[in-house]
Structure 1
Amino acid sequence: MTDEVVSVVTSTSFKDVAKLLAQHDISRLPVLDDEDHVLGVVSERDLIDREAAGHPLVSDAPDAGREEATFPSKVIFTAGEIMSAPAISVRADEAAAGAARLMARRGVERLPVVDDEARLVGIVTRRDLLSLFLRPDAEIRHHVVEDILMDTMGLRPKAVTVHVVDGIVTLEGRLEAQSQIPVLIRLTGRLDGVIAVAPRLTARVDDSLPTASHRSALGMSW
């Protein structure tokens, strides 16, 4: 993600939007309000579509033939008038794979990144995502062991053997509870750079089934 973002406000003129797109060699700009909330996105296509639609002509005015008729000296289109809204954006905590799927589904190359209050915090591009998928296997393994197994789940590092080859993470071992398995798989799959997860996990206790006390409380005889 890039946190230095070129953006505009709703009152930015058509011409200034075009200048920014050309100067920074980008195809889309987020449109913000006074508190940095993302209201929409203005793109090259929005500008071209507006231009293709034509401009209002002075002769089209209903009183154009009257001597006292007055006309605006110029017509100014703003980012707020031509933007596409609502903006297609991703949350800052979204996994790279989720952002990649959204880009592919919507056919865009750049996405605004927003916080919990929809305020702009950055921009993620296809190139950013590509660099994440090129993350070294050793670095991915380190994060699985240190951040997920030990820090998040409180497991011993030797409880699960972690192998990473070309971004595919193999998890092999025996956990204490069955309910820990989907959690570990989900957290690993959300890690940037992970292409797929191959679980080979078992559990000592199947806590997905009701215990004897729970069965008794529910009137179950089995």
Structure 2
Amino acid sequence: MREPTVASLMTAEVIGAGPDTPFQDLVRLLGDNKVSALPVVEADRPVGVVSEADLLPKEEFRAGAEEPPGFFAARAEKHRWAQSAGLTARDVMSTPVWTTTPDTPASRAARELATAGVRRLFVVDGEGVLVGVLSRRDLLRLFVREDADLRREIQDEVFGRTLWVDPLTIGVTVSRGVVTLSGRLERRSEIEIAEHLVRSMPGVVEVHNNLRPDWDDSKRPRQTEIFG
């Protein structure tokens, strides 16, 4: 079983802007395409990001109508003040650009999003060229699966092909992504493997493992039990 990669989830058609794109055009691009951020692209490579938050300082400070932040003001406030006077994407964009690659596993991409605290990762190839964008919403789509399809895949992939168990001897029920397993396997270690494999499948929300072993191979016999 292979985990989905970024390439299978990303949006390949990315709406972007150039460093010299005027402020008003940036606003139009965001609104017309119903996106909250744009990559700023130079020579096919992302060099910055313009989000709605990067454009709001223009209204917040009215391009210097208020007093500028003082020396002891927070760095973020000083940055917004500088953005308020921006005329082009280069003036208002944020850096660095958080990127990932097409072959990155979905779970690692989710971890990168969480660690960076961003809403999207821009996808680049081995040369750093922009080839797509992956959002939180793209990753969450993994959980929108039909219960019947998920049940069938668990039976076939986990029990049939991986554990070599007759799928019909194992009870697998799925309700809104919550999987319940019942029945018996030969070894306790197989039950642990089965649960791990099911949890790793795209679309699984939770696993209730009611499988029981015929033999508890997690307990090693003592030497006295072996040699008498």
Query: Following TM superposition, by how much is the alpha carbon of 1:26 offset from its aligned partner in structure 2, in angstroms?
Result: 0.8
Query: Following TM superposition, by how much is the alpha carbon of 1:174 offset from its aligned partner in structure 2, in angstroms?
Result: 2.0
Which residue is 1:187 aligned to? 197
Return the index of the structure with the highest Cα Rg. Answer: 1
Determine the C-alpha separation between the residues in 2 that align with 1:116 and 1:205: 49
Cα separation, partners in 2 of 1:20 and 1:141, compared to 1, 3 Å: same
Equivalent residues in 2 for 1:114-125, closer than 5 Å: 114=123, 121-125=132-136
Match of 1:20 among 7, 17, 29: 29
What letter corresponds to residue 148 of structure 1 in structure 2?
V
Q: Which residues of structure 2 form unaligned runs of 5+?
A: 1-8, 65-85
Which residue is 2:207 aligned to? 197
Cα separation, partners in 2 of 1:79 and 1:195, compared to 1, 3 Å: farther
What letter corresponds to residue 106 of structure 2 in structure 1?
E
Determine the C-alpha separation between the residues in 2 that align with 1:113 and 1:186: 30
Determine the C-alpha separation between the residues in 1 that align with 2:105 and 2:12: 18
Query: Following TM superposition, by how much is the alpha carbon of 1:24 offset from its aligned partner in structure 2, in angstroms?
Result: 0.5
Query: Following TM superposition, by how much is the alpha carbon of 1:150 offset from its aligned partner in structure 2, in angstroms?
Result: 2.2
Q: How many residues align?
A: 191
Determine the C-alpha separation between the residues in 2 that align with 1:192 and 1:47: 36
Q: Deviations over 1:132-174 (max 9, x none)?
A: 5442211110111122222344333134210112321101122
Q: Deviations over 1:73-110 (max 9, x none)?
A: xx754359622435287985325xx58x949x94x6x5
Cα separation, partners in 2 of 1:211 and 1:127, compared to 1, 3 Å: same
Greater alpha carbon shift after TM alignment, 154-163 vs 3-12 = 3-12
Cα separation, partners in 2 of 1:191 and 1:113, compared to 1, 3 Å: farther
Cα separation, partners in 2 of 1:48 and 1:193, compared to 1, 3 Å: same
Determine the C-alpha separation between the residues in 2 that align with 1:52 and 1:141: 52
Cα separation, partners in 2 of 1:121 and 1:176, compared to 1, 3 Å: farther
Which residue is 1:156 aligned to? 166
Query: Following TM superposition, by how much is the alpha carbon of 1:41 offset from its aligned partner in structure 2, in angstroms?
Result: 4.0
Which residue is 2:98 aligned to? 87
Whose helix fraction is larger, Structure 1's or Structure 2's? 2
Cα separation, partners in 2 of 1:114 and 1:144, compared to 1, 3 Å: farther
Determine the C-alpha separation between the residues in 2 that align with 1:46 and 1:172: 52
What letter corresponds to residue 187 of structure 1 in structure 2?
L
Q: Which residues of structure 1 form unaligned runs of 5+?
A: 57-74
Equivalent residues in 2 for 1:63-212, closer than 5 Å: 77-79=88-90, 82-87=93-98, 92-94=104-106, 102=114, 106=117, 110-112=119-121, 114=123, 121-126=132-137, 129=140, 132-210=142-220
Cα separation, partners in 2 of 1:116 and 1:24, compared to 1, 3 Å: closer
Q: SS where residue 139 of structure 1 aligns?
A: helix
What letter corresponds to residue 145 of structure 2 in structure 1?
R
Q: SS where residue 146 of structure 1 aligns?
A: helix
Percent of aligned positions that are identical:
26
8 Å contact from structure 1 (residues 5, 123) kept in 2: no
Determine the C-alpha separation between the residues in 2 that align with 1:173 and 1:80: 63
- What TM-score does the superposition give when structure 1 sets the normalisation length? 0.60
Aligned residues: CA RMSD: 4.4
Query: Following TM superposition, by how much is the alpha carbon of 1:197 offset from its aligned partner in structure 2, in angstroms?
Result: 0.8
